[in-house]
């Protein structure tokens, strides 16, 4: 674990829909104050600033980054039927995107209104807000809800003033910028469409992993593409593999527990008769390099993927510096025999991870050509014993997986 992402904690207003039912929404996706943390999340409401700073410092002390989920695509004021709370009364036509009939609101967010980041003062407000959270609270990055809206300008969808502003700002360009690359507006699905410097949630990875693990046919080849960075979506304009934020579950839809316990959604408790949320959850109540024909085999359930650390990262000739890894996925219900591949420069593999045996005192070594029994519905990670420049990488991997935690009070006798 390297980072913790918090759902929106900026000051927000409770939605009328749940409150009318006597329920409370803790999600915070209904922001009204972009420079303040909501006091309801803290032990001492008036002391929220100090408490939040202390919390973030504690995370940093143990090497964890803090990512804020932020909502700058709309506000809590809703559409023309909702009350004036703030921005409507200050300058409605500047803060919100309006159609020709300015009694109404453009609703690309599905919430009733859309914040107008094409206006210079609104753009300034949002960037000042972000800089505040970085400089004053030491936040390490942001995940932007419905980020496609930032690229939708009145004259078209090519780029966007907000995206460009973040790229040139000396503060914002130094932190992690993560887009949720879709919204409810026209052309809203834009996975892979953000510029260099931005990362994006990759729902292609989410859906493909779920389908493969569920046992769907014909997805092995696509899973391989997703595992190596979704080059078909992100390999352009100099973007790197980290531009794809790979996830399996999030705050929307099923939890990881739900994913393997339910075939269908069960949202009865919130009083909406199970009508909210997506019904497309791809859930289930639950050894050798493939040939082109095997990749296309709809019944494939198990395969191995070699990530060759000896490959050059760029066209510049220099020694390789990455570990060579073998990932093995088995969605089959039974054991599959895997023959460990032969790779030049070494003839031994170490098994770093086997989800069927998560606790091991030491790592096992295997010769190339040896047969390893892959347990049903498991994931394995092997590392090639490296020589030359990649040897230190292998040693660090081995040490990180075999270091014992020292008991409190000193070394045990």
pLDDT in tens, 336-368: 999 998 887 788 898 988 998 877 777 789 999
SS (H, E, C) 267-302: CHHHCCCCCCCCCCCCCCCCCCCCCHHHHCCCCCCE
Q: Write out the two tokens for 263.
A: 């075939």
Reported as a pLDDT band with limits 50, 70 and 90, residue 221 is very high
The confidence score (pLDDT) of residue 393 equals 62
Check residues 322 and 121 and name the one with the higher pLDDT. 121
Active site residues: 145, 180
- In the predicted model, what is the mean pLDDT of residues 176-182? 97
The confidence score (pLDDT) of residue 317 equals 52
Q: How far apart are CA 204 and CA 208, in angstroms?
A: 6
Q: How far apart are CA 185 and CA 286, in angstroms?
A: 36
Q: How far apart are CA 182 and CA 201, in angstroms?
A: 9
The confidence score (pLDDT) of residue 397 equals 64
The confidence score (pLDDT) of residue 402 equals 62
Instruction: Say how many Å lie between the first and final Cα of the chain, rounded.
Output: 31
Backbone φ and ψ for 402, nearest 5 degrees, come out as: -120, -10
- In the predicted model, what is the mean pLDDT of residues 94-121? 95
The confidence score (pLDDT) of residue 403 equals 57
Q: How many CB atoms lie within 10 A of CB 236?
A: 12
Q: Give the least confident one: 146-150, 307-311, 333-337, 403-407.
A: 403-407
- Give the start-to-end residue ranges of the domains of the chain: 3-270, 292-402
Tell me the β-bridge partners of 31: 12
User: Is pLDDT of 13 > 70?
Assistant: yes
Q: How far apart are CA 11 and CA 38, in angstroms?
A: 4
User: Is pLDDT of 375 > 80?
Assistant: yes
| Mean pLDDT, all residues of the chain | 87
Name the helix (H) or strand (E) containing 129: helix 120-135
User: Is pLDDT of 242 > 60?
Assistant: yes
The confidence score (pLDDT) of residue 159 equals 59
Q: Give the least confident one: 9-13, 25-29, 37-41, 73-77.
A: 25-29
Quick: pLDDT tens for 2-12.
Answer: 999 999 999 99
The confidence score (pLDDT) of residue 155 equals 63
User: Is pLDDT of 170 > 70?
Assistant: yes
Residue 178 contacts residue 210 (beta carbons within 8 Å): no
The confidence score (pLDDT) of residue 246 equals 96
Residue 343 contacts residue 368 (beta carbons within 8 Å): yes
User: Is pLDDT of 284 > 60?
Assistant: yes
User: Is pLDDT of 410 > 50?
Assistant: no
Reported as a pLDDT band with limits 50, 70 and 90, residue 293 is confident
CATH of 292-402, one of 2.60.40.1180, 1.20.140.10, 3.30.70.100, 1.10.10.60: 2.60.40.1180
Check residues 253 and 308 and name the one with the higher pLDDT. 253
- In the predicted model, what is the mean pLDDT of residues 125-141? 98
User: Would you put residue 409 in left (φ > 0), alpha (ψ -120 to 50) or beta?
Assistant: left
User: Is pLDDT of 156 > 70?
Assistant: no
Residue 181 contacts residue 203 (beta carbons within 8 Å): no
The confidence score (pLDDT) of residue 151 equals 87
The confidence score (pLDDT) of residue 319 equals 59
Q: How far apart are CA 156 and CA 187, in angstroms?
A: 11
The confidence score (pLDDT) of residue 392 equals 61
User: Is pLDDT of 288 > 80?
Assistant: no
- In the predicted model, what is the mean pLDDT of residues 71-93? 96
3-270, which class in CATH? alpha beta
Q: Give the least confident one: 12-26, 53-67, 103-117, 282-296.
A: 282-296
């Amino acid at each position: 674990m390297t980072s913790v992402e918090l759902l929106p904690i900026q000051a927000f207003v409770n939605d009328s829909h749940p409150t009318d039912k006597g329920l409370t929404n803790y999600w915070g996706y209904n922001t009204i104050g972009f420079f303040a943390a909501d006091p309801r999340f803290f032990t001492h409401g008036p002391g929220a600033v100090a408490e939040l700073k202390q919390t973030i410092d504690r995370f940093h002390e143990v090497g964890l980054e803090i990512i804020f989920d932020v909502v700058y695509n709309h506000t809590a004021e809703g559409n023309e039927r909702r009350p004036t709370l703030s921005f409507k009364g200050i300058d409605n036509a500047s803060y919100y995107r309006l159609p020709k009939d300015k009694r109404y609101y453009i609703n690309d967010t599905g919430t009733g209104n859309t914040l107008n980041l094409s206006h210079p003062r609104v753009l300034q407000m949002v960037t000042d807000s972000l800089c505040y959270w970085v400089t004053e609270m030491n936040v390490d990055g942001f995940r932007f809800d419905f980020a496609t809206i930032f690229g939708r300008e009145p004259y078209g969808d090519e780029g966007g003033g907000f995206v460009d502003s973040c790229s040139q700002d000396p503060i914002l360009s130094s932190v992690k910028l993560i887009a949720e690359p879709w919204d409810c507006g026209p052309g809203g699905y834009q996975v892979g469409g953000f510029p260099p410097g931005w990362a994006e949630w990759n729902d292609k990875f989410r859906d493909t992993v779920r389908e493969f693990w569920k046992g769907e046919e014909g997805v092995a080849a696509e899973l391989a593409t997703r595992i190596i960075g979704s080059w078909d979506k992100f390999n352009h304009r100099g973007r790197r593999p980290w531009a794809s934020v790979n996830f399996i579950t999030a705050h929307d839809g099923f939890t990881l527990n739900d994913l393997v316990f339910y075939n269908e959604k069960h949202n009865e408790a919130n009083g909406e008769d199970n009508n909210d949320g997506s019904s497309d959850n791809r859930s289930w109540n639950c050894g050798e390099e493939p040939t082109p024909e095997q990749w296309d085999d709809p019944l494939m359930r198990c395969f191995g993927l070699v990530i060759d650390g000896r490959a050059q990262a760029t066209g510049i000739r220099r020694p390789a510096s990455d570990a060579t890894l073998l990932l093995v996925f088995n969605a089959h219900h039974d054991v599959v025999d895997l023959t460990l591949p032969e790779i030049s420069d070494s003839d031994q593999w170490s098994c770093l991870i086997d989800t069927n045996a998560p606790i091991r005192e030491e790592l096992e070594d295997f010769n190339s050509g040896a047969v390893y029994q892959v347990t049903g519905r498991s994931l394995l990670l092997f590392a090639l014993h490296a020589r030359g420049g990649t040897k230190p990488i292998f040693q660090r991997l081995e040490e990180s997986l075999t270091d014992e935690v020292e008991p409190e009070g000193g070394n045990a006798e």
